[in-house]
Amino acid sequence: MSERVRRRVVVRGFVQGVFFRDSTRREATRRGVAGWVSNRPDGAVEAVFEGSPADVAALVEFSSRGPRGADVREVSVSEEPPEELSGFEVR
C-alpha cells in the first residue's frame, strides 16, 4: 500500500456561505482523498484530509484559495497520524 498522510486545516476569512464545504468535498472526491469538512462556530472552516501526499497537498493548496467568492485570510495546517478514513463527508 502506498504512503498515506493526514492533515488538519483551519481556514479563516470569508469562508462560510460561499460553498467552501461542498467545493472541498468535490475536490477531495475527485482526488480520492478521505476525510471531512465542517463550518466552525467561530466562522472558520475546518477539514481533515487523508490520502496520498500529493493529493493531500493539493487539497491543502485548494484550501488556501477556496472556491470563487471566498476570501481566505489564514490557513493553519497540522500533521496528524492517519486513521485510515474512507469517503469524504460534509459535517
* C-beta of residue 47 within 8 angstroms of C-beta of residue 37: yes
At 32, give phi and psi (nearest 5°). 75, 30
Provide the 3-class DSSP secondary structure of residue 16.
Answer: coil
Report, as residue numbers or ranges, the catalytic residues: 21, 39
